[in-house]
Structure 1
Amino acid sequence: MEQTKFMAYLKELFEPLCNQLSLHVGDVIENLCAELATPPLTSSVRVNTLKTPIVSEGVESVKDVLEKYCRERNCSTSISMSVHPLLPDVLLIEGSGPHSDLRLYDKEILVEMTCGQSVLRGADVYGPGILGAPKDLFIGESVSVYADSGNESRKGLVKKYDGPKVYIGNGKACQTRADWFGPSAKSSGLAIRMTDPLYISPSLNEMLLNDVAFPQSLPSLVVSHVLKPTETDRVLDMCAAPGGKATHLATLMRNKGVIIALDRSAGKMKSLKHNVKRFGLTNVHCFHHDSTAACSSKSDDASSQRNFPGPPPYPPAFFDKVLLDAPCSGLGQRPRFNFSINLTDFTSLPLYQKKLLAQAVLLLKPGGKLLYSTCSLSPEENEAQVKWLLSTFKEMILIEQSPVIGYPGLSMFELSREECLKLQRFGPAAFNKQLSSSPLSLDTIGFFIALFEKKN
């Protein structure tokens, strides 16, 4: 029911744009969902240039991880890797698929939807993700693995599941059914080694990469390069966990200047602090705080300067650069099998994003830059927010970005053609692939970037 309501909402949202482009909205939404159900074939890794200033040295560490991945799977061809032509600290790793010639085995394993999505990005299957398995399964046996795409199956299923499911590849059992269900069930452990996945898309384990490299989506790597922090900047990352962008900014700043990294989730703060420590960064200061209350006119500027870098709130016009990678619907994450999104939650997100944007403007110095990003394809979380900010805060102007790897923003919400050209979108774009400046901007998760400057 939630999916039906949400799809109807998407059609209503995109219909004016589709009419403008002479496209059938039903076909556009269908193609969009089909593309979101597949993983990007290109993975990206950021080399820690503080640890390995010469990127080619980082290549060797990543290559070791890739070779191990291929040895454990029936990879008929080697996985190619190259340095991104516009992002000198980014490695691109080319996967392949779908491999439609795989044999289907009689014995089937059913896994949770989220587990299946991870498998399409290169992961193996672990015990907690299994929903169903045959009783007579032995260790070492070959099985075909399916994901419960409808998110409807009960745990412990014995028979083959006849509900909505997606084939994700073949593997070998490393445990038995008794390890997953019943009184002797294990809480963890490798359950199925995916020897023949539908997509060859290396899972770049952060533990294997240590402090040399960091797996990150390509658009999120573009963010830090577009914001261009300097070694003397005071930077605020308003929603920083788990720390990919904060640690990237810190690396570009050569571990100099100051970055304040805030996040309202206590649980996610652990990941943020772990990544900052893992990269040996001393210019990133992490605080558990909701950024909708990051600025206070009552904060004394002299006192804040004296105690900086201390915890929030901070006085107005305190930061040279502000990054707002806003909490969003995630309607750009790939792969995604299901769109059972609560419509009320989805439509309430823009209000929270506006609260964060208002704080960002207050905290930004005149002449400073604000970067707004989401991992959503929804125009209401993207172009609509750009129009609102420009209309509400006359001191803010939209400025050009560099590097430009994505395609322009959508002509919606009365944004001019010139303004759309200053925005970057990434990922599936059934309505305007012809506007893409690079095929790499399409084979990524869905993402959006806008860059603003505060007038003096």
Structure 2
Amino acid sequence: MLNKITKWLSETPDFTSFRINRLKEFDIKNMKDHLETQSHELGVKQIPNTYLLKEDCLIIEKWPENVILEKSKNGVIVDVSCAIAVLRGAHVFAPGVLALPTSCKLNERVDVYGDLDRQCKRGLKVPYEGRKMYVGTGYLKMQRYQLFDNGVQPSGIAIHMLLPASRLPVINESIYPEGHILLQNLPSIVVGWVLNAKPDEHILDMCAAPGNKTTHLAEMSNNQAHIIALDKTKQKIDRISKNLDAHGITCVKVFPFNSEKCYTDSEGEINEPPFPLNSFDKVLLDAPCSGLGQRPQLANNITPKMLQSYKHVQRKLFEAAIKALKVDGILVYSTCTITEEENERMVAWVLEKHPNMQLVPAEPLLGGPGLPNVGLSNEQRIMVQRFGPENDPLRQVDDIYKNSIGFFIAKFIKK
């Protein structure tokens, strides 16, 4: 099973998912026209399958198997983060470029390789001898002096990607006006469906940056819920605010605040943190986690000590969430990781430590059940959802939900 999960994590999902802002107009034709343009660049007649999974979720599948490109004679080295972004359908932006041959000319076809060893020196002119992985082919849009010789951090698109090795379409939100659509992993969209924000509800988003799930909750409530979004630093809060403005959302208040201390025993109104006990109808705890569900994973340097640290933070956040939640209120917990400690065992800890918290089905149940033999009964496993490659007779899962990222969702009611 470990080998299966490791292989799955190293692969790129077979589709790109966008969340659609239901507060704004959306025309799927714009996306299809963009893909039509790409099909001409690639010399193929068909475009990838494109469809609405729900009214707020757009799915675009990868190009068919017969869409391939011959390798070029020039190889460009990019850092691992850039390589991952390319495999997910992004262009190569200037800061990610590490090495570019001196012979490369503008608008020339180049092959892009990720530096798996993380040893390539920025500005390298000779061929890189470390481990590298081919991630796609595109057209060079910046020269060496623009990337390495001007003494400042370069910006802009350095390589206009034609086809990633994953065959995902090269696509982003810029096809539509800002705030109309958002690149978002499918399980992250499912979190919003599980919480199901409604008008006039008081909702706390505890670890909200960059605000993608926050905006989804606001849009689901038709911009009529009362949402508080917290994160630790002003920088993160500014990013949330920018996201809210782009999406045309006015029902969210943001505060730079440590959510571990978001409650107080004093009485008062829900104006600013810390909040009185039993204040919120719903709480979203999209917890800081080890992030080991992200795909593709080309390299990972997380240590056992770092892995062990997350559960302690998550438990503190749970304690605060439970205090801030009203009786009969709903708490949704999610992570983008695959570890038992941060997922099933965290749910088991909550149920043991807080008998007033009742586990309920995290509907719509689209991911698989929780893992067996890690603290949850079969009855409890069927209530949570784990997104991954596992097959479990407790619940069959559609392929689209098995082929996104590793993710976990649980839902509780406070009694």
**TM-score w.r.t. length of structure 1:** 0.85
The answer to which of 208-217 and 348-357 deviates more is 208-217
Aligned equivalents of 2:73, 2:248: Cα separation in 1: 50
Shift of 1:352: 0.1
1:40 is matched with which residue? 13
Residues 1:172 and 2:139 aligned together: yes
Counterpart code for 2:29: E
Secondary structure, aligned partner of 2:131: coil
| Correspondent of 1:346 among 304, 307, 328 | 307
Shift of 1:219: 0.6
2:278 is matched with which residue? 317
Secondary structure, aligned partner of 1:369: strand
Shift of 1:75: 5.4
C-alpha change, 1:131 and 1:434, in structure 2 (3 Å) is: farther
Shift of 1:135: 1.5
1:390 is matched with which residue? 351
Aligned equivalents of 2:341, 2:80: Cα separation in 1: 27
C-alpha change, 1:186 and 1:157, in structure 2 (3 Å) is: same
C-alpha change, 1:434 and 1:35, in structure 2 (3 Å) is: farther
Task: String of CA shifts for 1:156-200, please: whole Å, max 9, x gaps.
Answer: 222222211110122222122222223467611322122232123
C-alpha change, 1:361 and 1:434, in structure 2 (3 Å) is: closer
1:275 is matched with which residue? 243
1:296 is matched with which residue? 264
Residues 1:79 and 2:25 aligned together: no
1:156 is matched with which residue? 123
Aligned equivalents of 1:224, 1:109: Cα separation in 2: 39
Counterpart code for 2:408: F
Higher helix share: 1
Shift of 1:262: 0.7
| Correspondent of 1:451 among 386, 411, 414 | 411
Secondary structure, aligned partner of 1:379: coil
1:238 is matched with which residue? 206
**Contact map agreement 2:200 2:225 (CA 8 A) in 1:** yes
Secondary structure, aligned partner of 1:50: coil
**Contact map agreement 1:422 1:450 (CA 8 A) in 2:** yes
* Aligned pairs for 1:355-394 within 5 A: 355-394=316-355
Between the two proteins, the alignment pairs up a number of residues equal to 414
2:374 is matched with which residue? 413
Aligned equivalents of 1:373, 1:230: Cα separation in 2: 19
Secondary structure, aligned partner of 1:347: helix
**Contact map agreement 1:147 1:167 (CA 8 A) in 2:** yes
The answer to which of 214-223 and 417-426 deviates more is 214-223
Aligned equivalents of 1:402, 1:435: Cα separation in 2: 13
The answer to which of 274-283 and 352-361 deviates more is 274-283
The answer to which of 320-329 and 28-37 deviates more is 28-37
Shift of 1:98: 7.1
Aligned-pair Cα RMSD in Å: 2.2
Shift of 1:408: 0.4
Shift of 1:290: 1.1
Shift of 1:203: 4.7
Shift of 1:434: 9.0
Structure 1: stretches of 5+ with no match in the other structure: 1-27
**Contact map agreement 1:98 1:199 (CA 8 A) in 2:** no
Secondary structure, aligned partner of 1:381: coil
Segments ≥4 residues shifted beyond 4 Å = 67-76, 97-101, 183-186, 431-435
The answer to which of 353-362 and 396-405 deviates more is 396-405
Shift of 1:330: 0.7
Shift of 1:337: 0.1
2:189 is matched with which residue? 221
Counterpart code for 1:268: K
**Contact map agreement 1:179 1:186 (CA 8 A) in 2:** no
**Contact map agreement 1:150 1:163 (CA 8 A) in 2:** yes
**Contact map agreement 1:81 1:93 (CA 8 A) in 2:** yes
Shift of 1:142: 1.8
2:399 is matched with which residue? 439
Counterpart code for 1:180: L
C-alpha change, 1:82 and 1:373, in structure 2 (3 Å) is: same
1:129 is matched with which residue? 96
Aligned equivalents of 1:119, 1:400: Cα separation in 2: 36
Task: String of CA shifts for 1:311-356, please: whole Å, max 9, x gaps.
Answer: 2000111100000000111100111101211321221011000000
Residues 1:93 and 2:60 aligned together: yes
Secondary structure, aligned partner of 1:409: coil
**Contact map agreement 2:369 2:394 (CA 8 A) in 1:** no
Secondary structure, aligned partner of 1:365: strand
Counterpart code for 1:262: L
**Contact map agreement 1:58 1:213 (CA 8 A) in 2:** no
Shift of 1:99: 7.1
- Using the aligned pairs only, state the percent identity: 37
The answer to which of 185-194 and 394-403 deviates more is 185-194
| Correspondent of 1:285 among 253, 256, 274 | 253
Counterpart code for 1:173: L
Residues 1:120 and 2:87 aligned together: yes
The answer to which of 90-99 and 360-369 deviates more is 90-99
Secondary structure, aligned partner of 2:253: strand
Task: String of CA shifts for 1:75-109, please: whole Å, max 9, x gaps.
Answer: 5531221121xx33212111137779532223211
The answer to which of 278-287 and 209-218 deviates more is 209-218
| Correspondent of 1:250 among 209, 214, 218 | 218
